[in-house]
Structure 1
C-alpha cells in the first residue's frame, strides 16, 4: 500500500504571523472572501522530493479543500492533488477532543500508512486514530504555526517512512 503524505495549509504551508525570508505574499479570493497567504515556493520541490523518495502520495488535508489546488499548489510548484473532504460543518473539536478533520482523515486513509503535517494535531487526535477500526500506521507531525513546515518536519517523515519499511522509493 502506497503511503500518504497529508498536508494542511494554514499554519503549515502558510505560517501564522511574520513569515521567514523567502516566503512570498499572495492575495487569494475564495468564494468571495479575500485571504492573504505567505508561501515558500521551495516547499513544493521539497514535498515532491519527499514523495518521490519514499513512494508516497501527496494529498491535501485542509479546510481549503479543492481551493488548495487552485490557489496554493501552483504558487509552490505542486501539481493538482487529491483532497480529503474535511469541511463537514461540524464543531472544531468533538466531545472526545479530537479535531474535526481527524475522522475524515481516518476514513480517507483507511489501512494506508500516512504522515499528517498539521498545526492542530494533539494527543486526542493520535488516540482517536490509534483506537479507530480500520486505520493503519501513521505519524502525526505537529508543525508550529508561527514557523510553518521545516526541513526537520520533512526529515521526520522521511525517517519514519524509511525505518518503518513503508517507503516505496528507490
Structure 2
C-alpha cells in the first residue's frame, strides 16, 4: 500500500522505453542481463530526462509497472538516467478475468485512489473498464504507446496536461 498523495506516472519498459524497432538514431542498443539471460534493448537517454522533467513539473512520482519489475531499476533506469523507483509487482497478479491486461489488477491495488497516468503499449478498453469499476481507483489516464516507436513527446505532453488539470 502506498502512503503518499502525489499523483503517479506508471511506466512500462518493452514497447514503451524499448520500442520493437529502432525509430531513430537517438536509440542506442544495450545488452541487459536478467536471471542469467541476455536481452537486447533499444533505449533513448532523452526519455529519462523527459520523464524526470514530467515528474518535477507535475509533482508526480515515477513508478515501474513492467514485467522487468525490480530489474528495471538495475538494468533500464541507470541507462537512461532514472533513479531507483518504486516497483509494482505485476507478475504477482491473478491474471485477467475479463480481458484486461494481467498487470491491471496489481496496478489497481497499488494506486489506492491516487491519480495516475499509465504508459503501456498493451492497454485496451477492458483495462479502462476494469480500472473504472475498481473501488480503490480514482482518476486516471491510460496512454497506449505505439510499440513500434516507443514513448513520444506527444505522449509525455498529454500526460503533463492531464496531470496539471488533475491538480486543479
Q: Which runs of 5+ in 1 are unaligned?
A: none
CA offset at residue 52 of structure 1? Answer: 0.3
**Counterparts of 1:78-117 in structure 2 under 5 Å?**
78-88=82-92, 90-91=94-95, 94-117=96-119
- Deviation of 1:90 (Å): 4.9
Identify the match of residue 166 of structure 2 among 161, 164, 167. Answer: 164
| Residue aligning to 1:61 | 65
1:19 touches 1:38 (CA, 8 Å); kept in 2? no
1:165 Cα deviation from its structure 2 partner: 2.1
Tell me, yes or no, if the aligned pair for 2:15 and 2:120 is still in contact at 8 Å. yes
Structure 1 residues 11-26: aligned runs within 5 Å: 11-26=15-30
1:127 partnered with 2:129: yes
For the residues of structure 2 that align with 1:59 and 1:95, how far apart are their CA atoms?
Answer: 24
**Counterpart-to-counterpart distance in 2, 1:90 and 1:2:** 27
Say whether the 8 Å CA contact 1:7–1:58 is kept in structure 2: yes
Structural RMSD (CA): 1.2
User: What TM-score does the superposition give when structure 2 sets the normalisation length?
Assistant: 0.94
| Deviation readout 1:103-147 (Å, 9 max, x if unpaired) | 000001110000000000110000000001111110000000001
Number of the residue aligned with 1:35: 39
2: CA distance between counterparts of 1:43 and 1:89? 28
| TM-score, scaled relative to structure 1 | 0.93
Q: State how far apart, in whole Å, the 1-side matches of 2:32 and 2:143 are.
A: 26
Distance 1:57 1:18 in 2: 28
Task: Show structure 2 runs of 5+ residues with no match.
Answer: none
State the distance in 2 between where 1:147 and 1:17 align.
Answer: 7
Question: Do 2:32 and 2:41's aligned partners in 1 also have CA atoms closer than 8 Å?
Answer: yes
